[in-house]
Structure 1
Amino acid sequence: MLDVAALPGLTRAERVQVLDAWLGRLLDEAVAGTPPSRQRRGAPPPRTGTSGIALVAVGSLGRRELPPFGDLDLVLVHDGRPEIASVADALWYPVWDAGLRLDHSVRSIPEAVGVASTDVKAGLGLLDARLVAGDAELAARLRTATLASWRQSASRLLPQLRDLRRGRAHQVGEVAFLLEPDLKEAYGGLREGQVLRAVAAAQLGDEPTAEIEAAYAFLLDVRDELRRRTGRPADVLVRQEQRPVAVALGLADEDILLREVSLAGRRLAFVADETWRRVEAGLVRRPHGRYRRVRREPLAEGVVRQGDEVVLAQGARPAVDPGLLLRAAAAAARADLLLSPYTLKVLAVHSPPVPEPWPAELRWSFLRLLASGRAAVPILEQLDQEGLLARLLPEWDRVRSLPQRHPWHRFTVDRHLVEAAAAASELTHDVDRPDLLLVAALLHDIGKGWPGDHSVVGEPIAAEMATRMGFSPPDVAVLRVLVRHHLLLPATATRRDIDDPATIDRVAATIDHDPAVLQLLHALAQADGAATSASAWSPWKAHLVAALVARVQAKLGSVAGAPEPVLHPTEPQVTARPLDIPGAGGAVTVGIEDVADGQQVTIGAPDRSGLLSTCAGVLALNQLDVRAARIAVEAGYATAVFAVRPRFGRAPVPEILADGVRAALEGTLPLAERLRQREADYRQTGGRSAPPRISWHNGEVSGAANGIVEVRAGDRAGLLYRLTAAITGEGLDVTSARIETLGADAVDSFYVRNPSGTPVDAEQRRRVDEALVTATGGAVHDVLAGGTTDTPG
């Protein structure tokens, strides 16, 4: 007699062993108690015993994972014995009488294969088929037949299984980010472990690793303990059960339990995502089975695109190139692709320790990665899962998968920080220091990994991290303020009277009357709220914060949008000092010298309309990324100085650049056409698609200039050439320029004038706006409707 009440207290192995023995006895009794059907004339003598009958477990019992109060999934397999219906009745009724939940079926092998080939859930279950009692040879034939059917039907069934899992993820959420996760059905739950085995059985994926099996086993342990505690078949780890379950599993508290569940679910989800990508690639049929060579396209130095993923170039040397890791990550995010799993492994094994402070190239690549927006989220997850993110930022381990108990929060602390950085990337056009905004968004809650008020605790931690990244002391000081006071604006706007002058004075004093900090705090509050939830950042709250910011700006006498960006020591800089270039009398001259993180190129030529555009186009054609630029004209001779970095590691050659500039000026080099072809060859993307922001500033200039036009847009190859060509194409001369690239954003200010000496009128300004928007790749109506500002003199 089965002691059903004792089953929940047993281990999984003990539970399965007891049930197998009991079910085996039931099958023997059912077969012995059922007389064989009357023999037909000429038929072979009736069989006795369990020959031709096998009791097979599927589902959790088949996998030897049956939880307390779990269903028994049983299949009675036969090879045509006529009395099988009577045997089944005699077998199932004792199970029901014992009070156990039963999912049962009676099948011949052809029937089972037929169902498995058309029903993805049935096919998935039969992959776990395990003999409990009866004819072992019959059970082996069933397993062989269903496995062959699964592999044959994989191209049809696996997409159905993928859609089922994605649908459940949409309905239930992800285990990694739920405060009350469904351990079975949420994405990254127990189902993912089963799916990974099914894909491996179809020979379209690898067998789950020991790490995956450990994560899966932990979730099984949590579910078992949850069911023991509740006394029912529960799969949702509800809040009130988390502490007792944690104690039973030997964990310190419920937060530790939830964090471990998150880490396990996150790993399962990550591997499942990668597996589905491989499955989808493997199911694409090639015409006539011919091998098609995958094109390799350069993305950055040592990094190429291969198919739909990013890999290392053949000549890459990760062991001696500390910048390769972040350069590859940034290139992948900018192309909206993922790093290949093999590339991740190579980088994890061979990447050298990161120098401290970070060289300019590392910081540059990191900012470009963050500025890629949504495309950066899966890349950062890849780095995190391989332990590379914590290698770059050791403090990250303290917040990794750390739960946030407030119901407003959709994510764990680390994912919230990543989401905040992604949200901040959409606001970088609104601030003068997008680099500081991105880093502040990534670090604003870093203090939650330590005891105490996270804003206070996080301030020195963020400062130390920023110092290691190589930010200057003034920039570190700004980041300290942003982390310490990232809740200042929303807390004040919702809890204080913003019409009270004392409230405005208090906010102004807190930020030391710095309008730039106010600007950054406003953007940071928006990014933080968007990354939290719709409840945390409602239209009402956004309106209150904006109203508060407007009042503080009025108090500070600030005007949004500086007319002339100032280069910061954290970014590449150029000096207007020309090199000692021989033969400058009217000829085109080029000088190059090595500087930190690249080269400085100085080009001298007789001044003419469009010269800056021509020089920028030649540099872009030679695959040189312009980080900053200056141009000055004296006595009819122009000197343009550019801070550049070779995209693919090839240093610029002065003679080649000089020949290019001469040819372009003479009209024998079609720059626009060649640049379009270069973009088509490399399929370079412009990263984020946020519309550009264009501002005109009048009355703030002296000398020959009539005004300043400032353009903030996502950086891309040849952008400087396009912008300056757009301005000169509308009849204006660029008398001077200030070019700066921070992260993935270009902040370019052009001093312009009419050759006639008349002011730039509204109609001409409108045409310039449209041309500039077209040059950045944006939509004209979007920008001109709300992105263009005019600062009168």
Structure 2
Amino acid sequence: MTTDTHPTGSEFAAARARLLAEPGRTGAARRAALSALADGWLRGLFTAAGAPPGTALVAVGGYGRGELSPRSDLDVLLLHEGRIDPALPERIWYPVWDGGAALDHAVRTTAEARSVAAEDLKAQLGLLDLRHLAGDAELTAGLRSAVLADWRAAAPKRLPELRELCAERAERHGELSFLLEPDLKEAKGGLRDVTALNAIAATWLADAPRDGLEEAAATLADVRDALHLATGRATERLGLHDQDQVAAELGVLDADILLRQVYEAARTISYAGDVTWRTVTRILAARSGRGRRRLPFLGGGRAVPARGVVERSPLAEGVVEQDGEAVLAQSARPAQDPVLPLRAAAAAAQAGLTVAHATVRRLAAETRPLPVPWPDEAREQLVTLLGAGEAAIPVWEAYEAEGLITRLLPDWERVRCRPQRNAVHRWTVDRHLVETAVRAAAMTRRVARPDLLLVAALLHDIGKGWPGDHSEAGEVIVRDVAVRMGFDKEDTETLALLVRHHLTLVDTATRRDPEDPATIELITRTVGTLPHLELLHALTEADATATGPAAWTAWRASLVAGLVDRAAAALAAPGTGGAAGRPSAPAVWSAVVEPTAEQERLAVEAARTLSPALSLHAHAGESTDPERPEPMGVELTLAIPDRPGLLGTVAGVLALHRLTVRAAGLRELDPIGAGPVLLLSWTVAAEYGELPEAARLRADLRRALDGSLDVARKLAERDAAAPKRRGIPTPPPVVTVAPGTSSSSATILEVRAHDAPGLLHRIGRALDAAAVRVRTAHVSTLGAEAVDAFYLTDVAGRPLEPDYARQVAHQVQAALLRGAGNCANPEEAE
């Protein structure tokens, strides 16, 4: 029934029922047919009502787009030139109501329609999709032209309003990608967001990434149609009790597969929205004069007037910041640098940025798979990404949208978009894993191996989707993943233990008597060592808090903490062996370890010349294969006649040369009996660019030692001039005196902190100010976390008194807290 006839409401309803029951008529074709059916009916009603010249009937909103679902409203506007019979609208509307169709109607002139649109954003969005049905076509065309012109002219004002409207909806309805009972229309990533993206495109300012967007919107529309048919209601919420019926209506095997399809579609729409809104923000900033570069209108139109040159600030090797996003440097060669995707992701997250859409697509298209096992840098960059906490989420989502995550971690595909049919869980399996890593990032000060904590958090539920117990399956999977990532045998076993037993502490604490010696023995036998217990405790809390409020109550937290305290005491008891590998006693150079010939040569040279002697050698793990290059890194061996403040001075010079210290050892020698020489053996890498020449590094060390180079002031000036990054909340540094592990000749000071340029410099200056000597040291950087140990003595070479040791720890921690972030005041930086 598509001709201009005047059927009754019952005839229309019967025709509609036949159409919905027609075999093979589904999806977009059925929505178009429903729209055409309604078009013919309304045209007939318009004609039968005796509408005079100068009037038109217009479809708006979803009906205007020709996308009627089985229970959609008919959104129509009766347009006129100023004079109209008051009874005319009723002659059209009443038959619609009599026929049982839902109707949303208005009667306006062109001027009135434009005025309402100017005041009501939702009304304006509906008019952007207007479509002529009957009457004066020129009147409809005039309104359409005027509405589009108004929308484009008012874009700088209306687009921020639209973004706020979208944000309010997301806050109210949540993210469609993760909800167990999602609202297909209103939630973030739903059909309303598709309408918003089309509205943005209509401004000619920007357009959304279109790959997969139309298919994603069609998927959600198909599910909504099936929901309407299965329930007989005009609902947008896909309730648990309806999902099996909807799956059957669509011919999908089960409700879980249905939800995965919905989640995948929603993620495509949500990511397209995020990319588009970032583009809109940059363009509007440029138009208002706040931008820093020339920006073209995406999708056509004039160019924005130039507002200066493009500013590009380096973030990491091959990665720069531009317009608030991480992009590839001009010199970057993705095809020759398989670690580049992880390096770009880590640099972006640590700076509080996301990776530009074009950059992610280029990385996905050009970068080769990582070699197996992964290079050390790849593993460190993954840990650095995870350690960024909340800032890692948008970067992870961008990479997942282009398939980079499953390329890095093939086992991720089984948990991707996998629903969890448990009211306790707030997220899908994959997002729960990322959220657990985010929460673990706030607990890195509690463990000696933050890298293992973060990786275990990311992989602890990787066994879901496999047959059997997911913890047992996950243990098998994580052993394989850890080896592929390049973890050694000991670390692989630790990760396997954490994944296998990530539920053990909470299950035991809530189901067994925590004071029963058998319960304590069960836990100590399971974990084996104090470091393992620390890691498992942190993972347990991160997992539970990422699950939802009901999973980690104060009661559960206290039970687990009590169990952990009793197990820790048992492991620390003499003769148990449970303290083996305790993090507060890291490996350092022992006095019985003989220096190498190279170290002896440098020490003798430094003692004879009373000046620095150094050597730079390629790191043993670096590749020499030009087809598989790895980031530049070297072993820096440095010998300097000992004097107060050496550690801080040397570390400051390295920071000035933008060298990142990945690991370091420190010891004293007296090679010719003329006085002690400090010997430092450090693994360093350039933040970006090339390594400095040895001669230049040696010259700056000499200048720093003779006072002609003020290292502290230079670092403070550089920090003050650096672009201010968005604040990335990180746990505060923790500085402690290692309990019960100080040797007979030194006191061990442990420092756990977020790595940053100049961190070791600030530690060294604080120790120098405390008038203590660093006898030996072990410095390691795990991802973005520094885990350092310093063996300290007083000026007479004796261990520190306990009270003074605690005072020194307090001074170092205070210095690190003062130096955190960009500091414009050189005195504060010191």
TM-score above 0.5: yes
Structure 2: state its 5+ residue gaps. 1-6, 21-29, 291-304, 573-577, 590-594, 623-632, 671-675, 821-830
Q: Is the CA contact (8 Å cut-off) linking 2:12 and 2:41 kept in structure 1?
A: no
Q: Is the CA contact (8 Å cut-off) linking 2:58 and 2:140 kept in structure 1?
A: yes
1:187 maps to what in 2?
188
2:636 is the alignment partner of 1:601: yes
Structure 1 residues 576 and 56: alpha-carbon distance in aligned structure 2, compared to 1, 3 A threshold? farther
1:149 maps to what in 2?
150
Distance 1:303 1:653 in 2: 23
SS at match of 1:456: helix
2:543 is the alignment partner of 1:522: no
Q: CA deviation digits over 1:346-365, x for unaligned, max 9?
A: 11111112111101111111
Q: CA deviation digits over 1:55-111, x for unaligned, max 9?
A: 00011211111111221111011123x334332221111111212221111111111
2:611 maps to what in 1?
587
Distance 2:73 2:613 in 1: 82
Q: Is the CA contact (8 Å cut-off) linking 2:762 and 2:819 kept in structure 1?
A: no
2:295 maps to what in 1?
none
Q: Bigger shift: 766-775 or 148-157? A: 766-775
2:440 is the alignment partner of 1:428: no
2:658 is the alignment partner of 1:623: yes
1:783 maps to what in 2?
none
Q: CA deviation digits over 1:704-724, x for unaligned, max 9?
A: 53x121110001111111101
Q: Is the CA contact (8 Å cut-off) linking 1:498 and 1:548 kept in structure 2?
A: yes
Q: Is the CA contact (8 Å cut-off) linking 2:206 and 2:279 kept in structure 1?
A: yes
2:813 maps to what in 1?
773
1:552 maps to what in 2?
567
Distance 1:465 1:484 in 2: 14
CA deviation after TM superposition for structure 1 residue 773, in Å: 2.3
Q: Is the CA contact (8 Å cut-off) linking 1:692 and 1:778 kept in structure 2?
A: no
Q: Is the CA contact (8 Å cut-off) linking 2:475 and 2:497 kept in structure 1?
A: yes
Structure 1 residues 763 and 482: alpha-carbon distance in aligned structure 2, compared to 1, 3 A threshold? closer
2:340 maps to what in 1?
324
1:286 maps to what in 2?
288
Structure 1 residues 553 and 287: alpha-carbon distance in aligned structure 2, compared to 1, 3 A threshold? closer
Distance 2:555 2:692 in 1: 53
Q: Is the CA contact (8 Å cut-off) linking 1:319 and 1:352 kept in structure 2?
A: yes
Distance 2:565 2:598 in 1: 41
2:753 is the alignment partner of 1:713: yes
Structure 1 residues 609 and 291: alpha-carbon distance in aligned structure 2, compared to 1, 3 A threshold? same
Structure 1 residues 684 and 149: alpha-carbon distance in aligned structure 2, compared to 1, 3 A threshold? closer
Distance 1:757 1:640 in 2: 19
Q: CA deviation digits over 1:742-788, x for unaligned, max 9?
A: 111101111112215576456644553343224323699xxxxxxxx
2:16 to 7, 30, 52: 7
Structure 1 residues 567 and 688: alpha-carbon distance in aligned structure 2, compared to 1, 3 A threshold? farther
Q: CA deviation digits over 1:280-304, x for unaligned, max 9?
A: 2222243495513232111111111
Structure 1 residues 226 and 101: alpha-carbon distance in aligned structure 2, compared to 1, 3 A threshold? same
Distance 2:751 2:173 in 1: 44
Q: Bigger shift: 762-771 or 517-526? A: 762-771
State the identity as a percent.
47
2:731 is the alignment partner of 1:690: yes
Structure 1 residues 226 and 648: alpha-carbon distance in aligned structure 2, compared to 1, 3 A threshold? same
1:345 maps to what in 2?
361
Q: Which amino acid aligns with 2:551?
A: A
CA deviation after TM superposition for structure 1 residue 3, in Å: 2.9
Q: Bigger shift: 593-602 or 155-164? A: 155-164
1:532 maps to what in 2?
547
Q: Is the CA contact (8 Å cut-off) linking 2:80 and 2:108 kept in structure 1?
A: yes
Q: Is the CA contact (8 Å cut-off) linking 1:467 and 1:476 kept in structure 2?
A: yes
Q: Which amino acid aligns with 1:612?
A: L
Q: Which amino acid aligns with 2:813?
A: V
Q: How does 1:410-489 map to 2 (within 5 A)?
A: 410-489=426-505
CA deviation after TM superposition for structure 1 residue 417, in Å: 0.3
2:40 maps to what in 1?
21
Structure 1 residues 729 and 576: alpha-carbon distance in aligned structure 2, compared to 1, 3 A threshold? farther
Distance 2:781 2:428 in 1: 32
2:54 maps to what in 1?
52
Distance 1:449 1:310 in 2: 34
SS at match of 1:708: strand
1:729 maps to what in 2?
769
Q: Is the CA contact (8 Å cut-off) linking 1:176 and 1:401 kept in structure 2?
A: yes
Q: Is the CA contact (8 Å cut-off) linking 1:436 and 1:475 kept in structure 2?
A: yes
2:511 is the alignment partner of 1:490: no
CA deviation after TM superposition for structure 1 residue 681, in Å: 3.6
2:260 maps to what in 1?
259
Distance 2:402 2:489 in 1: 32
Q: How does 1:628-667 map to 2 (within 5 A)?
A: 628-635=663-670, 636-667=676-707
Q: CA deviation digits over 1:489-544, x for unaligned, max 9?
A: 01111111111111122222223x22222111111101101110111011111111
Q: Which amino acid aligns with 2:447?
A: V
Q: CA deviation digits over 1:520-570, x for unaligned, max 9?
A: 1111101101110111011111111111111111222267963222489xx
1:41 maps to what in 2?
none
Q: Is the CA contact (8 Å cut-off) linking 1:52 and 1:79 kept in structure 2?
A: yes
CA deviation after TM superposition for structure 1 residue 159, in Å: 1.8
Q: Is the CA contact (8 Å cut-off) linking 2:318 and 2:331 kept in structure 1?
A: yes
1:672 maps to what in 2?
712
Q: CA deviation digits over 1:2-49, x for unaligned, max 9?
A: 3315535532122111110010010011126xxxxxxxxxxxxxxx5x
2:351 to 309, 328, 335: 335
Distance 1:228 1:750 in 2: 70
Q: Bigger shift: 163-172 or 116-125? A: 163-172
Structure 1 residues 701 and 520: alpha-carbon distance in aligned structure 2, compared to 1, 3 A threshold? closer
CA deviation after TM superposition for structure 1 residue 579, in Å: 7.0
| TM-score (normalizing by structure 2) | 0.88
Q: CA deviation digits over 1:440-472, x for unaligned, max 9?
A: 100000000222211111111111111110001
SS at match of 1:175: coil
Structure 1 residues 700 and 447: alpha-carbon distance in aligned structure 2, compared to 1, 3 A threshold? closer
Quote the RMSD (CA, aligned, Å). 2.2
Q: CA deviation digits over 1:233-283, x for unaligned, max 9?
A: 111111111111112212110000011111111111111122222222222
Structure 1: state its 5+ residue gaps. 33-47, 569-573, 781-793
Distance 2:368 2:797 in 1: 58
Q: How does 1:349-388 map to 2 (within 5 A)?
A: 349-388=365-404
Distance 2:526 2:752 in 1: 29
Q: Is the CA contact (8 Å cut-off) linking 2:529 and 2:582 kept in structure 1?
A: no
Q: CA deviation digits over 1:128-186, x for unaligned, max 9?
A: 10011112121111111101111112222222222222112112111111111011111
